[in-house]
Amino acid sequence: MGVCLRDLRAGGVRTASVRFYFDADILGLGKLLATLRSDVTYPGDPGGVVHKSRRPPCPITTPHTRDLDWTPVVARATWVAITRDRHIQDHRGELAAVRDHRLRLVALSAPEARTTWEQLEVVLCQWRAIEALVDQEGPLLSVATRTSLRPVPLA
């Protein structure tokens, strides 16, 4: 659930509402998208201005932050987290954290999501479906490929 942009009246720059967190597993993609969208952040993001909207610095200050440490921070912020993990269904501890903290998580799981370019292709092919997750309650886990975004049971 994002908050509308507010006009700060300081040179026409508004405060942006972050809605998407790109994990360190896809840091290059997060950095790229943060130059285009003010609602995207990544670990270590110093913040910035995109299209006259100022994004605050990310509270996850380093890409070395463990998944189990950033999960509650991102969940409390009500952001949709995006990561790359072909075997996300096998990581019981991470799945429990998604459930416990009511995180909304998208995992790029396609073998063709190795490079930043390939990850961008997957995300852009599924962007409208990913963006729709902002309005859904967590916890939820979805797996993204170029051709689908499918929910994964957390039970």
Q: What is the pLDDT of residues 49-60, one digit of tens each?
A: 998 999 999 999
How many CB atoms within 10 Å of residue 14?
18
- Specify the pLDDT at position 9: 47
By DSSP bridging, strand 104-108 and strand 80-84 are: parallel
Q: How many CA atoms lie within 13 A of 78 on its CB side?
A: 8
What is the reported pTM? 0.89
Tell me: pLDDT of 25 over 60: yes
The chain-wide mean pLDDT, for the chain, equals 90
* Rounded-to-integer distance, Cα 34 and Cα 103, Å: 21
pLDDT band at 11 (very low <50, low <70, confident <90, very high): low
Is pLDDT above 70 for 7?
Answer: no
Taking only the tens place, the pLDDT of each residue in 59-116 is: 999 999 999 999 999 999 999 999 998 767 767 888 899 999 999 999 998 787 999 9
- Which of 1-15, 26-40, 75-89, 111-125 is the least confident region? 1-15
To the nearest 10°, report the CA torsion of 37, 43, 47, 49.
-20
